[in-house]
Every structure is written in structure tokens, then in C-alpha cells.
Amino acid sequence: MVMSKANPSSKQLACRKCKFVFSGEEKKCPVCGSTDLSDEWAGLVIILDTRSKLAEVIGAKKEGRYAIRVR
């Protein structure tokens, strides 16, 4: 069994364009490709189905986690 080490540099970033939340190693949004990212965001919505009403409201095009507010 391998224990995964907690990496303090792997902070979660949110895309200012589509609000997708991801670990900030890429420095680029994996959904829309934007580099306009923020580590100051609040609220988290998990989209499991992009055909759901919630995904439509948020504008989610990919399953994943989305921030409610991005500063």
C-alpha cells in the first residue's frame, strides 16, 4: 500500500471564465483552456451529469466541481 503525501502546493484553482475547479498544477483550465484563474473562490457545486438542470444553470460543459463565486 502506498500512502499519498499531502502536497501543500497542489492548491485548488477556479477558472474565472467557466468556474471549473481543479488542482492548480496545470495553470490552465482543463475545460475552456483559459489561464484566467483564481485561488479566491467560494462555494462548491459538484456536477455529475451535464444534462441536469443544475449543470444548465451553472453552464457546466463537463462533469466536475464548480465554484459558485470566483473573485
Chain residues binding Zn ion by CB under 5 A are 15, 17-18, 20, 29, 31-32, 34
Select 18 or 60, whichever has its Cβ closest to Zn ion: 18
Q: How far is the CB of 8 from Zn ion (least distance, A)?
A: 24
Give the nearest distance from C-beta 1 to Zn ion in angstroms: 35
CA dihedral of residues 39, 67, 33, 58 (deg, nearest 10): -160
Nearer Cβ to Zn ion, position 5 or 27?
27
Measured CA to CA, the distance from residue 20 to residue 46 in angstroms comes to 10
